[in-house]
């Protein structure tokens, strides 16, 4: 009997010791808090080394959003209130019962919020992602379609500038390709801003950016912004990457025919809500076969224009450095799928090549890239007067 009691005590002591040893180790740790602020939303990302169960609730008077994370410790600093964006007054930390880490977001205004825990991927571990939007934001609302364009044979308004939509790739949590010291999202935004300044200085031309800061925009929304603003052309700026650091050179892409075909199918599935995707001709009142023919013609024309546009830009890029491909490549990039806006994607250089990464960081070389693209744009417009007279 005494032996069994001693064994029981030893087992209990062992279990207590194991609990003491494993308790802190099993707790999830928030290693970092990252933030990005876009015009319409703010995103906060909590980088965690393990999965954690969490509960979310909101309070009023004053407005607050509260996240309780079970068995979680915070190792990162709480962001400064001056950097929390347009929706959040401050972030506070608490622990209601000692086993829960409580994050309290004091709000500046009514919001809609969305919270998700992402599994590890690429170079990231677990991430708790918190998005804040204006209170009237509707995630299920379809992107509004712009008013119908003028008829195809209508002359260009002489008072209307040619509008170039410039799309700096990636942004926010999506850093894009990485060099030793450089993020793609950073250098392409710098190049895009230089290009916008050059275009805005040209008589009869102006430019808009899909993003003006370090935040992410969904790929579909980028091309949609071009249509909503009635852009005459769309340029997505990127920097390439490859596992072999010797890869180098610029490239220019247009939409592939396969990409155009898949996009036609998506558009036709919702043609009742679209009125101006075939050169100003409404598709809503056409039977499916006629609508498909009209849209195919529009897509084919746009792809051909995009290739012509790309050739002019590529010819100028050849003058300032090596190109990876001597012709305009074609691929199914989502940002190139606007059915009526000539669109190209420019891979400015290989950020994974040490010498090209150095050039991408150089203000002087960024200016050369921007000037080369501008010259290509102007020559394309000069060679395509009929196309632009139709807008």
pLDDT at 26: 80
pLDDT in tens, 116-170: 999 998 778 999 999 999 998 887 664 443 334 444 334 445 568 999 999 999 9
Q: Does residue 54 carry a pLDDT above 50?
A: yes
Contact by Cβ (8 Å): 233, 377? yes
Identify whether residues 112 and 65 lie together within a single domain.
yes
Residue 4 lies in a domain: no
CA-derived radius of gyration, the chain: 27
Assign residue 172 a region (left: φ > 0; alpha: ψ between -120 and 50; beta: otherwise). Answer: left
C-alpha 384/C-alpha 307 separation (Å) is 12
The last residue of a domain, from among 134, 151, 176? 134
Identify whether residues 166 and 101 lie together within a single domain.
no
Identify whether residues 277 and 130 lie together within a single domain.
no
Cβ-count burial 86-100 (b if 16+ within 10 Å, e if not): ebbbebeeeeeeeeb
The pLDDT of 197-206, averaged and rounded, is: 96
Residue 113 lies in a domain: yes
Q: Does residue 223 carry a pLDDT above 90?
A: no
Q: Which of 50-59, 135-144, 157-166, 187-196 has the lowest mean pLDDT?
A: 135-144
Task: Give percent of the chain above pLDDT 90.
Answer: 57
pLDDT at 273: 39
Instruction: Label the pairing between strands 343-350 and 251-255.
Output: antiparallel
Residue 20 lies in a domain: no
Identify whether residues 127 and 187 lie together within a single domain.
no
Please tell me the chain's helix, strand, coil percentages from 3-state DSSP, rounded to the nearest 5. Answer: 35, 30, 35
Distance between the two ends of the chain, CA-based, in angstroms? 97
Residues 6+ apart with CB under 8 A from 267: 274, 277, 283, 295, 339
Identify whether residues 264 and 361 lie together within a single domain.
yes
Identify whether residues 106 and 215 lie together within a single domain.
no
pLDDT at 258: 65
pLDDT at 337: 73
Identify whether residues 123 and 36 lie together within a single domain.
yes
The domain in which residue 213 lies consists of 162-389
Contact by Cβ (8 Å): 254, 302? no
What 8-state DSSP symbol labels residue 138? -
The pLDDT of 381-390, averaged and rounded, is: 74
C-alpha 207/C-alpha 194 separation (Å) is 11
Angstrom CA distances, 19 to 13, 16, 23, 95, stand at: 10, 5, 5, 21
Residue 187 lies in a domain: yes
Run of H or E including 70: strand 64-70
Identify whether residues 128 and 222 lie together within a single domain.
no
Identify whether residues 260 and 174 lie together within a single domain.
yes
* DSSP states along 173-218: TB--SB-SS-BHHHHHHHHHHHHHHHHHTSTTEEEEES-SSS----
pLDDT in tens, 263-279: 444 443 443 334 444 34
Residue 385 lies in a domain: yes
Identify whether residues 66 and 204 lie together within a single domain.
no
Residue 336 lies in a domain: yes
pTM value? Answer: 0.76
Identify whether residues 111 and 166 lie together within a single domain.
no
Which of 67, 54, 64, 69 minimizes the C-alpha distance to 87? Answer: 64
pLDDT at 157: 59
Identify whether residues 205 and 106 lie together within a single domain.
no
C-alpha 274/C-alpha 151 separation (Å) is 15
How many CB atoms within 10 Å of residue 367?
16
pLDDT at 281: 41
What is the separation of C-alpha 139 from the centre of its chain, rounded to a whole number of angstroms?
A: 17
Residue 147 lies in a domain: no
Total domains present in the chain: 2
Give the best-scoring range by mean pLDDT among 9-23, 93-107, 200-214: 200-214
pLDDT at 14: 54
**Of 381 and 20, which is predicted with more confidence?**
381
What's the CATH number where 177 sits?
3.40.630.40
Contact by Cβ (8 Å): 356, 248? yes
How many CB atoms within 10 Å of residue 209?
17
What's the CATH number where 96 sits?
2.60.40.3500
Residue 143 lies in a domain: no
Angstrom CA distances, 53 to 43, 50, 113, 152, stand at: 20, 10, 18, 57
Counted residue by residue, the chain has a size of: 391
Contact by Cβ (8 Å): 323, 316? no
Encoded tokens for 46: 């909590």
pLDDT in tens, 311-366: 999 999 999 999 988 899 888 777 877 778 898 999 999 999 999 999 999 999 99
């Amino acid at each position: 009997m005494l032996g069994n009691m001693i064994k029981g005590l030893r087992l209990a002591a062992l279990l207590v010791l194991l609990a003491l040893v494993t308790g802190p180790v099993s707790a999830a740790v928030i290693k970092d808090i990252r933030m990005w602020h876009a015009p319409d939303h703010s995103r906060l990302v909590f980088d965690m080394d393990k999965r954690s169960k969490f509960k979310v609730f909101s309070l009023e008077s004053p407005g607050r959003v509260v996240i309780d994370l079970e068995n979680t410790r915070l190792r990162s600093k709480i962001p400064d209130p001056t950097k929390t964006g347009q929706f959040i007054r401050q972030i506070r930390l608490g622990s209601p019962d000692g086993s829960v880490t409580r994050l309290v977001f004091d709000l500046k205004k009514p919001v809609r919020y969305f919270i998700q825990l992402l599994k590890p991927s690429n170079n990231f571990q677990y991430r708790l992602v918190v998005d804040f939007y204006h209170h009237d934001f509707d995630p299920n609302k379809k992107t509004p379609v712009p008013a119908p364009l003028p008829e195809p044979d209508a002359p260009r308004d002489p008072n209307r500038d040619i509008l170039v939509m410039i799309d700096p790739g990636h942004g926010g949590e999506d850093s894009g390709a990485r060099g030793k010291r450089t993020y793609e999202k950073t250098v392409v935004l710098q190049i895009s801003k230089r290009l916008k300044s050059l275009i805005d200085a040209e008589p009869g031309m102006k430019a808009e950016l899909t993003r003006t800061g370090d935040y992410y925009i969904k790929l579909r929304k980028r091309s949609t912004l071009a249509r909503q603003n009635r852009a005459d052309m769309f340029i997505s700026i990127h920097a390439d990457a490859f596992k072999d650091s010797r890869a180098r050179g610029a490239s220019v892409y247009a939409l592939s025919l396969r990409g155009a075909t898949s996009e036609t199918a998506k558009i036709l599935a919702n043609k009742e809500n679209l009125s101006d995707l075939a050169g100003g001709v409404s598709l809503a009142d056409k039977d499916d076969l006629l609508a498909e023919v009209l849209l195919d013609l529009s897509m084919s024309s746009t792809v051909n224009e995009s290739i012509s546009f790309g050739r002019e830009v590529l010819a100028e890029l050849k003058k300032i450095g090596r190109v990876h491909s001597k012709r305009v490549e074609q691929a199914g990039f989502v940002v190139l799928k606007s059915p009526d806006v000539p669109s190209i994607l420019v891979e400015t250089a290989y950020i994974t090549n040490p010498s090209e990464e150095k050039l991408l960081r150089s203000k002087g070389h960024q200016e050369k890239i921007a000037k080369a693209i501008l010259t290509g744009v102007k020559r394309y417009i000069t060679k395509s007067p009929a196309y632009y007279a139709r807008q």
